[in-house]
Structure 1
């Protein structure tokens, strides 16, 4: 299935907190956006070779607009700097999606943990769960209160369910208290900087399988022990067999052979290049799939992942 692409206009721009700007997108002729669910993100096609993914933080029930909040990264590769310095109300921007690799599952109880800009995909989840009668709690940390977007709104609307921890006032989030003892029926959703994600993952090792759901804005650090070898790539649809050398990606080898694969991030975080696996065992190097999804070995992301077997057959 091809990617959904559409032209939008910047309807509003607002400074939310230190270094964070919210961009509101609108379609022409008051057309509605496609249906989306909490956890979804879109690609902003800022320039032909500058495409970045941002989580949707607006209300899924209001499809007249889409909203993203973007942190200015000090070591920006161009995306956040472009959004902050160049996108103004009235400007046009093409988007792809929405796409969702961080879906909200049904559970008896919810625990949300967010660090800084990691609140963006969690915000629509909180809005939806707050309308239910299910127990939930949000633990939200940041460098300072002035750096934490949506803070006042969360306190005003859901103060009894929200624990705030500004690092300059009280240090890091107390994850041991936030998580408590492992228990059944709890869905844990976490998004934020890598240090927070790794700390939560470590504490959730004894929780029931599938309890923890994380979303990364940056790729995981590569495993130095990962298999480094060439392999044969069989393409089921085209009938071609290609050799993928140890120093090249599947996407690049396929592109050279004239097989086009939609790509965006090229670092295993956006999900654009998701591909079905028909035979063989992928070497999953993405930052998207859960452990259960990796074990199933039925899909992979060909911009970064490789093969643990000498031959890998995919649906391309």
Structure 2
């Protein structure tokens, strides 16, 4: 890939427009509305068919670190898989019906297989536990094609900062940086050596550019300044890790040699500017209060535990519901203006003004007894 060429779109297809201007505008051109007709689309757009799901099979499984399992996924027929770029996610449909996103952590040049790594989270939403307990070689899965919301732009100098399982989107960036001869450095942090996935693989890539840093050997987590001290002057920083790590790097950026910061969170960002509002389940259903510091999705799932979700960041679209009435503050990175105008809403991040009530068509809401 020419370094002057903008990264491809969310699905790995080349495109000619400016990446950062249009990154969030790419998604599904249209999708079936819940229980209704297709969402409207501009008549000037060419008609396009929905992208078919990928059929995958688990071909290998191994322990990558303490409580981390690595899975290799391939086409059951042995054919090549769709191309992808560093930072891409794979949306897996698990046997239980759960849908979860996982960063591809292999080499983008390898089209024979995808690789993901998942840390077991017993107190999570159940997806990681299901993967650890049930996905073994021979298991068949379906998935959406890789989609990218954390694209690597191949700047001449880069610093990659990973916290624990946050190494997964950054490892492909290392492969791409080496392929293009960039001035790159990687810092991988964790509680102890046993918790760092792919440590041996990283050391083998370039021991002089890879820095493994553990809390138990250094008396605690690193500061943002310590992490950014590894940056070449003018470097672009790519960071994926827990919220305290991201916050530390953001605070220290201005005083570092780095020039810019790109990051991906493990989960939803803290709500710092929210107002309390309410959601109603259906036109005449129960009204649920949404506090200023909680998401509508969290409140909805208390009433509808079976409501599907995945990323909590307005990226994947799994939790989409239909807005029947009210004025929403859309904060997602997926829906187009047309989809929003037609009623699509992602409750994981979308909010409303103080005192507003959003009337939502939530799957199965009419089946619940009214208060």
Measured against the shorter chain, the TM-score band is 0.7 to 0.9
Instruction: Confirm or deny that 1:167 pairs with 2:215.
Output: yes
| Superposed CA offset, 1:5-55 (max 9, x none) | 222111000111111110000112112211110000111211454111110
Whether the aligned pair in 2 keeps the contact of 1:139 and 1:173 (CA below 8 Å) is: no
Q: CA deviation at 1:303?
A: 3.0
- In the other structure, the counterpart of 2:316 is 271
Asked which structure has the greater CA Rg, the reply is 2
SS of equivalent to 2:197: coil
SS of equivalent to 2:201: helix
Instruction: Confirm or deny that 1:15 pairs with 2:57.
Output: no
Aligned-partner Cα distance in 2 for 1:56–1:97: 11
Match 1:303 to one of 338, 344, 347: 347
Whether the aligned pair in 2 keeps the contact of 1:227 and 1:308 (CA below 8 Å) is: yes
Whether the aligned pair in 2 keeps the contact of 1:57 and 1:120 (CA below 8 Å) is: yes
My pick for the range that moved more, 118-127 or 264-273, is 264-273
Whether the aligned pair in 1 keeps the contact of 2:310 and 2:319 (CA below 8 Å) is: no
Unaligned runs of 5+ in 2: 1-27, 29-49, 280-286, 301-307, 321-326, 335-343, 359-371
Aligned-partner Cα distance in 2 for 1:136–1:266: 29
Aligned-partner Cα distance in 2 for 1:162–1:65: 25
Aligned-partner Cα distance in 2 for 1:11–1:181: 37
CA distance 1:180–1:129, change in 2 (3 Å): same
- In the other structure, the counterpart of 1:192 is 241
- In the other structure, the counterpart of 1:202 is 251
Aligned-partner Cα distance in 1 for 2:99–2:203: 33
Match 2:226 to one of 158, 161, 177: 177
CA distance 1:228–1:182, change in 2 (3 Å): farther
CA distance 1:267–1:178, change in 2 (3 Å): closer
Aligned-partner Cα distance in 2 for 1:31–1:195: 42
TM value normalised by structure 1: 0.75
Aligned-partner Cα distance in 2 for 1:29–1:122: 29
- In the other structure, the counterpart of 1:137 is 185
Aligned-partner Cα distance in 1 for 2:237–2:313: 22
Q: CA deviation at 1:204?
A: 2.6
**Correspondence 1:12-161 to 2 at 5 A:** 12-47=60-95, 49-161=97-209
Q: CA deviation at 1:118?
A: 0.4
Whether the aligned pair in 1 keeps the contact of 2:84 and 2:146 (CA below 8 Å) is: yes
Q: CA deviation at 1:74?
A: 3.5
Whether the aligned pair in 2 keeps the contact of 1:273 and 1:301 (CA below 8 Å) is: no
Higher strand share: 1
Whether the aligned pair in 2 keeps the contact of 1:41 and 1:99 (CA below 8 Å) is: yes
Q: CA deviation at 1:81?
A: 0.6
Whether the aligned pair in 2 keeps the contact of 1:101 and 1:271 (CA below 8 Å) is: no
- Structure 1 ranges of 4+ moved more than 6 A: 181-184, 206-210
- In the other structure, the counterpart of 1:226 is 274
Unaligned runs of 5+ in 1: 232-243, 254-262, 290-299
